[in-house]
Structure 1
Amino acid sequence: MGSFKGHALPGTLFLVVGLWHIWSALVRYVSDPKSFRVRVWNPVPGFDGRMRNLELYVIAVGSFIDLCIELLYSPHFKYFVNGVLNPAHMNDFEHSGMLLMFFIFGLIALLSQETRFLLLPEGALCLIAATAFSAEYLLFYFHSTTHKGLEGYYHIILVLLIGLCILSTVTGALLPTSFPVDLCSGIALTLQGIWFYQTAFTLYGPMMPAGCQLKDGMISCRSADNEVRGELLANFQFFSIVLGVLVAVVVAYGFVASRFGHSDVKRLHAVQDVLVDDQLRGY
């Protein structure tokens, strides 16, 4: 069974990294569209040394802290009961494996960036990141916790978003110059982070649907109608989040293009405006 903090902490990490990825992709593209390359992580411009690799430190340190919480704090070192793994904390052990993969990705990327011992191309880092997302996908798809009913519905949507992260990251390795692919990666990360928060507030916070409750570690609804209403509410929440993120990305693109836009981007927009005017005159 999950908890509010157990969803809010990874949600924060995914949300911060996702928003930074979107912003960086937009700035890099409008600044010089001809030399644009897909990046699985984005350095902080204007800084040298470790501050330049701040995103990688956030990924590595954040996943390590969450790993310690899942593996050390939650089970209180009670790993075995009667000679077998403690069944009461299988959920924590599974989450630890997922977080370990993200920690390994952050560590490998840092070694590749700051040392000469592990120089990897961006495509290889994309595939390593996709491996970490695949571990997360398998965790939530084959979870030891029985995700049925309303809880299961929220986790199904989460699994779909993780699948989008895998697809966009792998595609980034195959299409290293595609701006839409890089932007999609940032959007998928952001949506995943927001959905972690939405799950926390709905299932373990003040937004529990009417007729449903958290009791004895399980989420139950009084009737099938209450459960269906909860699922419909989840659909509405998801569509609202997707729409909100897409609108925010469009607004951010307009702002970034006006402030950092390269002459090629401005020329492209001018040509599009002329084409639209011609089409309107034709009508």
Structure 2
Amino acid sequence: MGSFKGHVVPGTLFLVIGLWHIWNSLVRYTSNPKSFRVRVWNPVPGFDGRLKYFELYVVAFGAFIDLCIELLYSTHLKFFVNGELNPSHMNDFEHSGMLLMFFIFGVIALLSEKTRFLPLPEGALCLIIAAAFSAEYLLFYFHSTTHKGLEGYYHLLLVLLIGLCIVSTVAGALLPTNFAIDLSCGVAISLQGLWFYQTAFTLYGPMMPDGCWLKENNVVCHSPDSEVRGELLANFQLFFMVLGVFTSVVGAYAFAASRFEHSDTRSLHSGQNGLDQD
């Protein structure tokens, strides 16, 4: 089924990357909207360029460490039983496949940016990360661990958020100058990270709905009404999460505009206001 730490660790990674993407998207747009381009990753400024590729290292090494935990530690190296994949650890094998895709993206992006062996345009990197999100989508949609009831509903909402990540990254490859698409990618990744957190605190923490409890690694509800109330609570949680993220984005845009606003940004806003008045 999973665990509290098993959801919080990837949730932290997605949330940090998503918020970093949102902030950089806002800064790059307000600084110079005419030269804005969609970016899959964003360099860390300062420190004489020593931390420029820090985001890619976080993705690559974070995915690799989690991959080792899932594939080596969780399975206790018992990969095969009677010549077949160990059915007791199919969940770990599936998670390893998802993490491998994100690790491959991090390595390819580093090779593309730091060497001349694999020069790839930004659109190609968008499609590679979209493939990693697609692997994650398939993992949770066709999971060997049967997600039923309230647990299944929380994972269904997670799958929808992963789908938004796929759509936004593919759209970034097709529309490389679109600010809204670049921003929506960061929002989708942040929401995915937050929902990992929400799932951890609800299914494995202190926020379990009334009438439901964790029994033998499964979420059990006292009655169908209790399960329905839990699903409605999940809807409200996701709604307030989306509202909070969008409110934060608006506030961050106002702050970025006050600090980094370019004359072209003001002229675009003035031109739009003129069209609205006409």
TM-score range, shorter chain: over 0.9
Distance 2:54 2:47 in 1: 10
Partner secondary structure for residue 41 of structure 1: coil
Return structure 1 stretches of 4+ with deviation > 6 angstroms. Answer: none
Distance 2:108 2:97 in 1: 17
1:242 equivalenced with 2:242 (yes/no): yes
Distance 1:224 1:249 in 2: 38
Cross-structure match for 2:46: 46
| Structure 1 residues 58-73: aligned runs within 5 Å | 58-73=58-73
Quote the offset at 1:83 in angstroms.
2.9
Distance 2:79 2:160 in 1: 31
Aligned residues: 278
Cross-structure match for 2:139: 139
The residue type equivalent to 1:232 in the other structure is L
Partner secondary structure for residue 199 of structure 2: helix
Cross-structure match for 1:208: 208
Quote the offset at 1:248 in angstroms.
0.2
Quote the offset at 1:267 in angstroms.
2.9
Cross-structure match for 2:151: 151
Cross-structure match for 2:13: 13
Distance 1:273 1:211 in 2: 53
Quote the offset at 1:234 in angstroms.
0.2
Quote the offset at 1:270 in angstroms.
4.2
| Structure 1 residues 53-132: aligned runs within 5 Å | 53-132=53-132
The residue type equivalent to 2:231 in the other structure is E
Map Cα deviations across residues 145-178 of structure 1 (whole Å, 9 max, x no partner). 0011000000010000111000000000000000
Map Cα deviations across residues 46-82 of structure 1 (whole Å, 9 max, x no partner). 3555410110001001111111111111111122223
Distance 1:50 1:31 in 2: 23
The residue type equivalent to 2:19 in the other structure is L
Quote the offset at 1:265 in angstroms.
1.2
The residue type equivalent to 1:29 in the other structure is Y
Partner secondary structure for residue 39 of structure 1: coil
Distance 1:51 1:177 in 2: 26
Distance 1:48 1:144 in 2: 47
Cross-structure match for 1:31: 31
Quote the offset at 1:32 in angstroms.
0.4
Cross-structure match for 2:218: 218
1:175 equivalenced with 2:163 (yes/no): no
Question: TM-score scaled by structure 2?
Answer: 0.96
Question: TM-score scaled by structure 1?
Answer: 0.95
Partner secondary structure for residue 53 of structure 2: helix
Partner secondary structure for residue 220 of structure 1: strand
The residue type equivalent to 2:207 in the other structure is M
Distance 1:50 1:60 in 2: 17
The residue type equivalent to 2:63 in the other structure is S
Deviates more, 1:173-182 or 1:83-92: 83-92
Quote the offset at 1:44 in angstroms.
1.2
Where does structure 2 lack aligned partners over 5 or more consecutive residues?
none
Cross-structure match for 2:260: 260
The residue type equivalent to 1:187 in the other structure is V
Distance 1:109 1:160 in 2: 26
Map Cα deviations across residues 81-128 of structure 1 (whole Å, 9 max, x no partner). 233222221111100000000000000000111111111000000000
Distance 2:86 2:219 in 1: 23
Quote the offset at 1:269 in angstroms.
3.4
- Check conservation: 2:75, 2:89, Cα contact below 8 A: yes
Identity %, equivalent residues: 76
Partner secondary structure for residue 52 of structure 1: coil
Task: Quote the RMSD (CA, aligned, Å).
Answer: 1.4
Distance 1:89 1:208 in 2: 27
Partner secondary structure for residue 213 of structure 1: strand
Map Cα deviations across residues 9-47 of structure 1 (whole Å, 9 max, x no partner). 110110000000000000000000000000011111235
